[in-house]
Structure 1
C-alpha cells in the first residue's frame, strides 16, 4: 500500500473561441492542438471566459484555473508548455 501517491495531475486548459478567432490563425491553432495532444491536456473551448476587456487586447487562456496571457499566440503556446512541463 502506498501512503503517498504523487500522481501528476492532468493539465486543464480553457480557451475562449472569440480570443482564438481574434489572434490565432490556422497554423497557430494547429500548433496549440499539437501541444494539447502531446501533453495530454484536457482542453475545453468556451464561448466566453469572462475576461472580455483582456480578450480584445491579447491572446489568453485559463490553465489549471489560472489566467495566462501573452503578447502573441506563439508566446502563449510556449508559456503553456513551460508551465506544464
Structure 2
C-alpha cells in the first residue's frame, strides 16, 4: 500500500424526522434504509435541519452538507442514489 492510498469517500446524509413523517410511508422508509445500507452512507436523524419553511412543502435532506429536495419521496431517493458513487 502506498503512502497516498486512495480512500473512498463516505457519503453523509442528514434527515429531518419531522419531514420523514410528513412524506415517507413505511415502504419509502424501508427503501431509504436499503440505500443507506447498500451504499454505506453515514446517516444522522435529526429533529430539525432548520429548513422549516420547506419542511412542510417537500421531502428534503442534507447530502454531504448540500440541501437536496424533490416533489415526491421517490424522486428524493433517486437523487440520493444518483449522487452516491
TM tier, smaller: over 0.9
3-state SS of 1:84 partner: coil
CA distance in 2, matches of 1:6, 1:68: 27
Q: How many residues align?
A: 85
CA offset digits 1:31-85 (Å, max 9, x no partner)? 0000000000011100000000110100000000100001100100010000012
Unaligned runs of 5+ in 2: none
CA distance in 1, matches of 2:38, 2:3: 30
Q: TM-score, with normalisation over the residues of structure 2?
A: 0.94
> Superposition RMSD on alpha carbons, in Å?
1.0
Match of residue 45 from structure 1: 45
3-state SS of 1:45 partner: strand
How far 1:6 moved relative to its partner?
2.6
Match of residue 59 from structure 1: 59
Q: TM-score, with normalisation over the residues of structure 1?
A: 0.94
Match of residue 32 from structure 1: 32
CA distance in 1, matches of 2:81, 2:4: 27
